[in-house]
Amino acid sequence: MKLSQRPVVEPAPEQPARLPVGWDRPWLAPLAGYSDLPFRCLCREEGAACCVTEMVSAKGLWHDGLNTWKVLETVPWDTPLVVQLFGAEAGCLGWAVRRLREQGFAWFDLNMGCSVPKVARQGAGSAMLRDPDNALACARAMIAAAEPGHVSFKLRLGVNRDSVNWLDVALRLEDAGAGLVTLHPRTAQEGFGGQAHWEAIAEAKRRLGIPVLASGDLFAAEDGVRCLKETGADGVMYARGALARPSVFKEHKALLRGEPAGKEIPAGELRRLIRRHMELIGRFGSEDNALYRLRSIVPRYVRSIPGVRLLRQRLCACQSLGELDGILDAFLAGSLAGAGGACGQGGSARLDKFDPPLPSCGDSSLPDREHEPWK
């Protein structure tokens, strides 16, 4: 594929010399299939201090995969931006960082936490914790290719409860020159089930001299603030909580100022967030693409409101953004009548009833070729 065909919207924005880390500077986590350019822009408007891209395949970059480069679409105000890479070959990861720096990107993260089989089968993601020596070789290759302190690492506790080795790996990453680490305190085997072990985040903060960001079970601003107070982490990274309500970032900051935050999501707030998301998707793509994306995005905002199944049916049949707009208004007003029962009830959702979708991992365009010309 020729360079001119790469779908970068504009040149990568100028990145800051330091990333914003602090209790009042919540981040948007890397969410494969979700944290694309429109969603990042929405989250920034809602108070996200920093955003991380969807997971990017280092091999996909080498093979110039269209879908891989599309993940890196950006605009000048999409900053600060961290590019999260995945892979298990040190030479490829180092090459990828150098290539991305040529494109204007400056901050990088290595995924050591994704447990999806498609990624783990390559020895990448959480499977890297099975081979700490190779994981450290990959880390050193990325660190050597970047500016000092510009590479971070997202970890799980280990592959399973019998092989919890995150602390040893984290200490070695710090010695290698890591800028910060993010800990999702579950094992790969646990996936997103059960309860996150926040006590491990507290231990990470006690044992490491570099910043520690907390992840895991941060469904609402109250969870993020409580996690900070219980663990002493340097900051939080919202994932599933942001999917349900991008305004979680400004609500997080409000809580730190002592302002109350309710669990109810008013219909008007839902309408505003969804409408803005619609506008951003339309701005960065065709109406057909926007309509396709919104059919899956809208239900996740309102999934705790009765009648979502009927809403999905109506969305799949709509033919324009204007029609989608009307369907959404009717749903939030509680008047989307039809087979399948009542819906809407005034359009108020509860955060504590939210059953979030599990973020997927992986790149649908992973190359099959095995040669390694980056060596």
99-103: average pLDDT: 94
Give pLDDT, residue 292.
Answer: 78
Give pLDDT, residue 263.
Answer: 66
Question: Which band of pLDDT confidence, cut at 50, 70 and 90, is reported for residue 349?
Answer: very low
Identity (one letter) of the amino acid at 78?
Answer: D
Give pLDDT, residue 6.
Answer: 45
Number of other residues whose CB lies within 10 A of the CB of residue 45: 16
Cα separation, 304 vs 202, in Å, equals 32
Whole-model pTM? 0.85
Contacts of 145 (CB under 8 A, 6+ apart): 94, 95, 97, 98, 101
| C-alpha gyration radius of the chain | 21
Cα separation, 375 vs 372, in Å, equals 6
Pull the structure tokens for residue 45: 């408007």
Question: Is residue 80 reached through a cis peptide bond, with omega within 30 degrees of 0 on the bond before it?
Answer: yes
Catalytic residues: 114
Question: Which band of pLDDT confidence, cut at 50, 70 and 90, is reported for residue 338?
Answer: very low
Percent of the chain topping pLDDT 90:
53
Number of other residues whose CB lies within 10 A of the CB of residue 202: 18
User: Which residue segments constitute the domains of the chain, with CATH numbers given?
Assistant: 3-256 (3.20.20.70), 264-353 (no CATH)
Question: Which is higher by pLDDT, 355 or 166?
Answer: 166
344 contacts 334 by C-beta, under 8 angstroms: yes
Question: Which band of pLDDT confidence, cut at 50, 70 and 90, is reported for residue 93?
Answer: very high
Give pLDDT, residue 195.
Answer: 87
Question: Which band of pLDDT confidence, cut at 50, 70 and 90, is reported for residue 224?
Answer: very high
Question: Which is higher by pLDDT, 34 or 351?
Answer: 34
Residue 226's alpha-carbon distances to 49, 60, 211, in angstroms, are 19, 39, 18
On the question of pLDDT at 255 being above 50, the answer is yes
77 contacts 59 by C-beta, under 8 angstroms: no
Residue 317's alpha-carbon distances to 16, 179, 197, in angstroms, are 44, 48, 43
Pull the structure tokens for residue 59: 């091999």
Identity (one letter) of the amino acid at 50?
Answer: C
The interaxial angle of helices 166-176 and 198-207, nearest 10 deg, is 40
Identity (one letter) of the amino acid at 235?
Answer: G
Give pLDDT, residue 78.
Answer: 95
Give the residue carrying structure tokens 């059960």.
194
Give pLDDT, residue 205.
Answer: 98
On the question of pLDDT at 169 being above 60, the answer is yes
Pull the structure tokens for residue 286: 């065709």
258-267: average pLDDT: 76
Residue 126's alpha-carbon distances to 11, 102, 207, 217, in angstroms, are 32, 28, 21, 18
Pull the structure tokens for residue 354: 């939210």
209-223: average pLDDT: 96
Q: What is the 3-state secondary structure (H, E, C) of the chain?
A: CCHHHCCCCCCCCCCCCCCCCCCCCCEECCCECCCCHHHHHHHHHCCCCEEECCCEEHHHHHCCCHHHHHCCCCCCCCCCEEEEEECCCHHHHHHHHHHHHHCCCCEEEEEECCCCHHHHCCCCHHHHHHCHHHHHHHHHHHHHHCCCCCEEEEEECECCHHHECHHHHHHHHHHHCCCEEEEECCCCCCCCCCCCCHHHHHHHHHHCCCCEEECCCCCCHHHHHHHHHHHCCCEEEECHHHHHCCCHHHHHHHHHCCCCCCCEECHHHHHHHHHHHHHHHHHCCCHHHHHHHHHHHHHHHCCCCCCHHHHHHHHHHCCCHHHHHHHHHHHHCCCCCCCCCCCCCCCCEEHHHCCCCCCECCCCCCCCCCCCCCC
Give residue 352's Cα distance to chain centre: 21
On the question of pLDDT at 231 being above 70, the answer is yes
Give pLDDT, residue 1.
Answer: 35
Number of C-alpha atoms within 13 angstroms, CB side, residue 172?
17
Backbone angles phi, psi at 147, to 5 degrees: -70, 155
